[in-house]
Structure 1
Amino acid sequence: MTNILVAEDDIIQRENLIKMIKEADINTNIYEADSKEEALKISEEAWIDFFYIDVALRNSSGIELALELRVLEKYKFSWIVFITTNINYMIKAFKEIHCYDYIMKPYDKDQVISITRQLISGSHKLIPLKNKDRYVVFEIQKGITVKINVNEIVFIEVSFRKLKLHTKMGLYELKRLALNKALEMIDSENIIQSHKSFAVNTDFISKIESVSPKQWEISFKGYKDKALLSYNFKNVVMEKFKQ
């Protein structure tokens, strides 16, 4: 799934743009921000594949946001598309920030769809840096959140309507969060579903052994608890394990 951040302080304009992006490809996860601070926070907590940034943001500018993104190692070469009403801003954007393109307001639907499809295509999509620390924020209970390093997640388990995050730092229990939603938030190519109630980090797998004709047990390096692997997910997990 492609992660896109739309930084636009006008909620109506933002909703219109997101609707157009979804028409280009429904298999996208779109983050929204109306300020530089909110956009930077999201960008640090998640991996963003590319950005749509309004030149004029609340209490700041899209140019300043882009310059701060370029300081972050993982976004040094990420694709940025600016949203503007004044083409003069684009001279600085192309020279100093190396943006990919720009779109003028009001939005041209065909242009938005065309640019989005080009960026989603393999020729323009950048691969996240391997072994780079990336964090995701989960709400454990109302008013209490925890920031977890994605690389430290060993496996995820759903049990009695609770989602359990097994990590190198300990076990976290979350209520009212589906497994597929958690995987969407984590967005890691190494953490994949292995069973209707489990998802595993293939980097930690040490052994896979059969416990029945259509079910296997997964053991992990340096972790005593085990996960399950079902027949429907066997081929995908085994292929990643062997790499």
Structure 2
Amino acid sequence: MYSIILVEDDSMQREVLKTMILSTYSSIKIYEADSESTALDIIKNNDINMFLIDISLKDSSGLDLAMKIRNMTKYEFTQLVFLTTHVDYMLQAFKQTHCYDYILKPYDKHMVQVMLNKLINKDIYDLNNENNELDKVEDKELVIKIRNGIFVRAKIKNILFIEVNGRNCEVNTFDGVYTYSNISLKKILQLINHEDIIQSHKSFAVNKNYIFKIEKLDLRLSYIYFKDYSKTALLGYKFKKNIVLEFKEVGKYYVK
């Protein structure tokens, strides 16, 4: 849910602005704070999409609060709008905090809605685009050439590992094993082009998300096991450091 924090120490002004916002965006979550300390507590414990900050708070400067917000990495570029009765401080505010706009008091409903429409719609558009890009990655497929004129599609997220077999590559997936004819491991990895599928051996590439156990075979080789899958892959010495680092991040089972 899109969320806004409204930092305003005048309860009546805060309620007026909140009502204006909700009259247009009824599903938006609005957090309220009447001081810098309350605001920082809310900000640190929630994900905020927009900050509306009174530039002249009673116990501190809204400008100081904005600077503290900008020093938080995840809020470095988040929409920030000042609430003010004067425009005198706004040049300083724009320079120091990279605020996006300001709202003059007393609040004009039309002006508030025009400004918020512009910023909120942009944010929602950007968020939807990010989600669409994630969906595209999740749905990405590898078209496997079984033999001349015969192809199958396999979702990349369903691939457990790939094994070189002569001039072919066997693609082991949750749905079955498919032999991609006349292709090298290097070429198939280029086609897949996915950060989860990584080379583990000159003849193997594995999906790092499905590794269940790594077990040492000798000084140069280890076995890679997959949960609920009987076949194993090989881990070569030159690829071991990278695979083990990736594996430990997932936090499963590693045998030295």
CA distance in 2, matches of 1:123, 1:29: 15
If each structure's helix is expressed as a fraction of its own residues, which one has the higher value? 2
How many percent of aligned residue pairs carry the same amino acid?
A: 45
CA distance in 2, matches of 1:126, 1:108: 27
Paired AA for residue 51 in structure 2: F
Aligned to 2:52: 52
CA distance in 1, matches of 2:126, 2:50: 9
Instruction: Judge conservation of contact 1:54–1:82 (CA < 8 Å) in 2.
Output: yes
Question: Residue 111 of structure 1: CA displacement?
Answer: 1.0
Judged with a 3 Å threshold, the aligned counterparts in structure 2 of structure 1 residues 3 and 123 are, in CA distance, closer, same or farther, namely: closer
Question: Residue 107 of structure 1: CA displacement?
Answer: 0.4
Q: Does 1:78 align with 2:93?
A: no
Question: Residue 122 of structure 1: CA displacement?
Answer: 3.5
Aligned positions of 1:18-167 closer than 5 A: 18-122=18-122
Paired AA for residue 92 in structure 1: Q
Question: Residue 117 of structure 1: CA displacement?
Answer: 1.6
Paired AA for residue 101 in structure 2: D
Instruction: Judge conservation of contact 1:5–1:31 (CA < 8 Å) in 2.
Output: yes
Aligned positions of 1:3-22 closer than 5 A: 3-22=3-22
Instruction: Judge conservation of contact 1:24–1:116 (CA < 8 Å) in 2.
Output: no
Aligned to 1:155: none
Question: Once superposed, which parts of structure 1, at least 4 consecutive aligned residues long, lie more than 3 Å away?
Answer: 122-127
Post-superposition CA distance 1:186-243 (Å, at most 9, x none): xxxxxxxxxxxxxxxxxxxxxxxxxxxxxxxxxxx9xxxxxxxxxxxxxxxxxxxxxx
Post-superposition CA distance 1:40-60 (Å, at most 9, x none): 110000000001100111310
Instruction: Judge conservation of contact 1:5–1:51 (CA < 8 Å) in 2.
Output: yes
Instruction: Judge conservation of contact 1:25–1:117 (CA < 8 Å) in 2.
Output: no
Between 1 and 2, higher relative CO (CA 8 Å, sep ≥ 6) is seen in 1
If each structure's strand is expressed as a fraction of its own residues, which one has the higher value? 1
CA distance in 1, matches of 2:58, 2:41: 15
Question: Residue 126 of structure 1: CA displacement?
Answer: 6.1
CA distance in 2, matches of 1:50, 1:30: 10
Question: Residue 124 of structure 1: CA displacement?
Answer: 6.8
SS at match of 1:60: coil
Paired AA for residue 21 in structure 2: I
**How many residue pairs are counted as aligned between the two chains?**
131
CA RMSD in angstroms comes to 2.3
> Which of these two proteins has the greater Rg computed from alpha carbons?
2
Q: Which runs of 5+ in 1 are unaligned?
A: 130-220, 222-243
Paired AA for residue 104 in structure 2: M
Question: Residue 123 of structure 1: CA displacement?
Answer: 5.1
Instruction: Judge conservation of contact 1:3–1:47 (CA < 8 Å) in 2.
Output: yes
